[in-house]
């Protein structure tokens, strides 16, 4: 008899293999792995790979369990919140840290006007060029 096959009615038919391929059921272990991955802001592809499930299985399960979507979003916010905490804690360590923070949070008040760029060119030089061309056209 052939390996991995079974004779039925004179014809060899392949036996079904349970456990071959990625699982389609969500076990507590699968959910735990997904939560671990999303807690470090992994992509869906990365999380599914880590949990050893297909993306389609993930999306099918999400349709059946929409409350898990909220859980994922909650987990994905953790790294962002931790990063914010670190930034705020380090503000007092140096003037530079504090100014960098203010420049990002209050660009108009603390930002450098020379930092404004468009396509690699400073906006002020673009505006000067436009004004110069406008004057030349009006003089003609």
Separation of alpha carbons 125 and 123, rounded Å: 5
Report pLDDT digits (tens) over 75-128: 999 998 998 898 888 888 888 888 888 888 888 888 876 555 555 555 666 777
The reported pLDDT for the residue numbered 74 is 94
The reported pLDDT for the residue numbered 70 is 92
**CA 60, chain centre distance (Å):** 20
Flag whether pLDDT at 19 surpasses 60.
no
pLDDT band, residue 135 (cuts 50/70/90): confident
The reported pLDDT for the residue numbered 29 is 94
SS (H, E, C) 113-124: HHHCEECCEEHH
Domain boundaries, the chain: 19-80, 111-140
Separation of alpha carbons 36 and 39, rounded Å: 5
Flag whether pLDDT at 7 surpasses 50.
no
The reported pLDDT for the residue numbered 84 is 87
Helix extents (H) in 1-140: 28-38, 44-51, 55-64, 67-90, 95-105, 107-110, 123-139
Q: Give the β-pairing of 5-8 and 11-14.
A: antiparallel
Task: Return left, alpha or beta for 106; rule: phi > 0 is left, psi -120 to 50 is alpha, else beta.
Answer: beta
The reported pLDDT for the residue numbered 101 is 86
Report pLDDT digits (tens) over 30-78: 999 999 999 999 999 999 999 999 999 999 999 999 899 999 999 999 9
For the record, the structure tokens of 99 come out as 């100014």
For the record, the structure tokens of 71 come out as 């859980």
Flag whether pLDDT at 8 surpasses 60.
no
The reported pLDDT for the residue numbered 134 is 74
């Amino acid at each position: 008899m052939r390996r991995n096959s079974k004779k039925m009615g004179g014809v060899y038919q392949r036996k079904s293999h349970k456990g071959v391929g990625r699982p389609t059921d969500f076990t507590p272990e699968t959910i735990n792995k997904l939560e671990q991955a999303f807690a470090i802001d992994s992509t869906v592809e990365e999380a599914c790979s880590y949990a050893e499930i297909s993306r389609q299985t993930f999306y099918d399960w999400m349709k059946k369990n929409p409350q898990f979507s909220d859980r994922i979003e909650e987990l994905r916010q953790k790294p962002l919140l931790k990063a914010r905490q670190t930034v705020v804690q380090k503000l007092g360590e140096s003037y530079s840290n504090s100014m960098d923070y203010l420049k990002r949070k209050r660009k108009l008040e603390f930002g450098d006007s020379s930092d404004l760029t468009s396509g690699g060119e400073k906006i002020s030089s673009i505006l000067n060029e436009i004004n110069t061309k406008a004057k030349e056209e009006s003089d003609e």
